[in-house]
Structure 1
Amino acid sequence: MIKALRGWFANDISIDLGCANTLIYVCGQGIVLNEPSIVAIRYTEDNSAYDIVAVGDDAKKMLGRTPENMETVRPFYNGRIVDWPLAEKMLKHFLEKMINAAWIKPRSRIVVCVPGDTSAEERRTIKDTIKSVTRVKEVYLVEAPIAAAMGAGLPIHEATASMLIDIGGSTTDITVMSLNGIVLSTSLKVGSDHFHYSIIDYFKRNYQCLVGEATAEQIKIEMGTAFPLEEVTELSVRGRHMGHGIPVSFVVNSNEIIEALEPVLSLIIHGIHSVLEKTPPELAADISKVGMDLVGGGSLLRNIDLYIKEELGISAKLAKDPLTCVARGAAMILEKSLQKSKKVSVATQEQVENA
């Protein structure tokens, strides 16, 4: 009955095509889809073609567990589309789930969040795919930093600086905004996935042990921290010894994980420092006063705000519900009417087609 009733109304939809997760937000309902941006594929015997085995949550369960003829792939990486055929299939899969649930109707309006450096061709391709799958006529694009800032509740329309650090899966976007525009922005090729890689490398160096990405992620979630905890915690880890090749277990503590994460955190600090050096003096003074805001999955690392304060002397605070800021911010743009949203750097159909 609820599904039937939804079919009578056109919903406004926002889509966040993240390197780590894809989120779909329905205005008035909230997040209706949040799944990993991962596709599992199986190759033919001669490796000349492949079939899609799983997408999203089901594909993530296969990380590190696939046989030789299968692979898990992330179509988005470093803020770009690295495998468009797979990205297109993944996007179609998610959109069809929303159509089947009657969230998307031909009269819906859809806004898609894209990185600021996405090419005009990539933008057209994304729009064309969404239109062909959904039959929706109104599809718009918005730059992810602007959407994230709106979702975080930053006063980007005011004559004062707002600084946003978006630590995504494979990139960290650092943006300074004022008066509804981007003053400075840079994208680092490092994100929360690199926390996992650093943990894996640390265990290789110090324990001569191999662990998978899923295990490294779980360790980060359970005991990862950017700044020392009041009480050191320990965790038993299982992996495969690099020498004799048999399964082993060993105990690590939270201070070791700090050491493992330090190389990645240092790169993020260096990136923030570089942007601050180029920020106009008046805006830099604003940032020094009000601090910076953190969004994205990587911002959930314990005590990362304290780490930034310690390293740069500027306060940092975690936005409310940082994982969904981009999707919610884009939805806010729709709710305030896309026809007037040039003020917040929305790329309309005409702007994209003429790019």
Structure 2
Amino acid sequence: MAIFSKDLGIDLGTINTRLADNTQVLLNEPTIVAIEVDEERMSEKMVSIGQEALNMYGRVPENIEVVRPLKNGVIADYVITEALLSYLLQQVGGSMRIFRPRVMISVPYGVTSVERRAVYEAVLEAGSREAYLIQQTTAAALGIDLPISSPSGNMVISLGGGSTEASVMAMYGIVSAETLRAGGLDMDEAIITYIRRKYGVVIGQITAEQLKIKIGAAVPQDQEQSMEVQGQDQVTGLPRPITLTTGEIVEALQDPLKDVIETGRRVLEKTPPELVADIIDRGVALCGGGALLRGIDKLLTKALGIPAYLVDNPLTCVVEGTVRGLELYPVLQRSLPKV
């Protein structure tokens, strides 16, 4: 590493983007941007980025749009993503015109060459000196110190906001993996649909997420919790309060959770028996924001027949692993995504 340059890792997520160097997580911002649209001039102007933009979600006038530039873990709007990355890199490194950083950024397994190229070019255009890609679960494994350098099997399931990824790794490479292009946002949507069908009340994504975090669970709980939320009556259009329980959120989440289970099962079916035996001994590491859903470790343990456990740093292991990936680049190089 050059004396005045910096090595940075980026976890570019559908919900949150995190930046870290080799000492700490430097930044954690929602991956969301507010844009002012001028229809007469056919132009767009960025109003706010990150937490400030998230606070505006669902509360803006017609001329302002609050958008997520990533969908299902990949770039949906290149221009906005580049502007977002440029802003975040400047936040941690000043102007960086002279000493630009070397960056490693995570991408889901199985993304297309076009999607990989979009991420790679966005990072370079945002101000990095060099850019490298790493699979999300490989970064997560490095961030939680799994022994993926050995010939034994290690399994990680990363439950993100826009995608869910399951991988089995050995010898620094991915042996079998699958990405489900659905995640935490789809769980929120399932809660919204459930409430609309059962109560005839419409709630927003932010409210659904609060329900999921505060009283949600993957399996029935011994202690039932409840939470009151304000929604909009479908018939009258007027505000209407309703009270939801943990059991109802469990019921609402069954379909998206079945998809997560099936993704894990398919990966295990494609894994050589010797490596499956290793995974039975070591367990399945769960990371990402979705791994914080209460009881999801128990659900996956029962469904897969292999112990599943929540890692110590589920939210930051990917970004910490991207930084470590830069240090290990010479040995990782052959198994990293090509651009």
Aligned to 2:74: 80
Give ranges in structure 2 of 5+ residues lacking alignment. Answer: none
Aligned to 1:342: 333
Q: Is the 8 A contact 1:11 1:105 kept in 2?
A: no
2:5 aligns with one of 5, 10, 18: 10
Listed one character per residue, the Cα deviations across residues 98-120 of structure 1 (whole Å, up to 9, x for unaligned) are: 22288x96164322222233444
Listed one character per residue, the Cα deviations across residues 301-322 of structure 1 (whole Å, up to 9, x for unaligned) are: 1110011122222210011111
Aligned-partner residue type, residue 54 of structure 1: S
Aligned to 2:123: 130
Q: Is the 8 A contact 2:10 2:20 kept in 1?
A: yes
The Cα shift of 1:277 comes to 1.8
1:70 aligns with one of 64, 69, 85: 64
Percent identity for Structure 1 against Structure 2:
38
Q: Is the 8 A contact 1:18 1:169 kept in 2?
A: yes
| Count, aligned residues | 337
2:237 aligns with one of 245, 252, 262: 245
2:279 aligns with one of 287, 309, 315: 287
2:226 aligns with one of 231, 234, 243: 234
2:105 aligns with one of 109, 112, 119: 112
CA distance in 1, matches of 2:322, 2:211: 32
The Cα shift of 1:159 comes to 1.7
1:45 aligns with one of 18, 39, 49: 39
The Cα shift of 1:40 comes to 1.4
1:20 aligns to 2:11 (yes or no): no
Q: Name the SS of the counterpart of 1:270 in structure 2.
A: helix
Quote the RMSD (CA, aligned, Å): 2.1
Alignment CA distance shift 1:268-1:237 (3 Å)? same
Equivalences for 1:169-248 in 2 at 5 Å?
169-248=161-240
CA distance in 2, matches of 1:105, 1:214: 40
CA distance in 1, matches of 2:305, 2:87: 45
Give ranges in structure 1 of 5+ residues lacking alignment. Answer: 1-7
2:259 aligns with one of 249, 264, 267: 267
CA distance in 2, matches of 1:126, 1:80: 8
The Cα shift of 1:9 comes to 4.3
CA distance in 1, matches of 2:185, 2:136: 19
Aligned-partner residue type, residue 307 of structure 1: L
CA distance in 2, matches of 1:311, 1:145: 21
Q: Is the 8 A contact 1:99 1:105 kept in 2?
A: no
Alignment CA distance shift 1:105-1:172 (3 Å)? farther
Aligned to 1:90: 84
Q: Is the 8 A contact 1:63 1:213 kept in 2?
A: no
The Cα shift of 1:68 comes to 2.4
2:157 aligns with one of 165, 181, 202: 165
Aligned-partner residue type, residue 67 of structure 2: V
Q: TM-score, normalised by structure 2?
A: 0.92
Aligned-partner residue type, residue 24 of structure 1: L
Aligned to 2:289: 297
Q: Is the 8 A contact 2:21 2:323 kept in 1?
A: yes
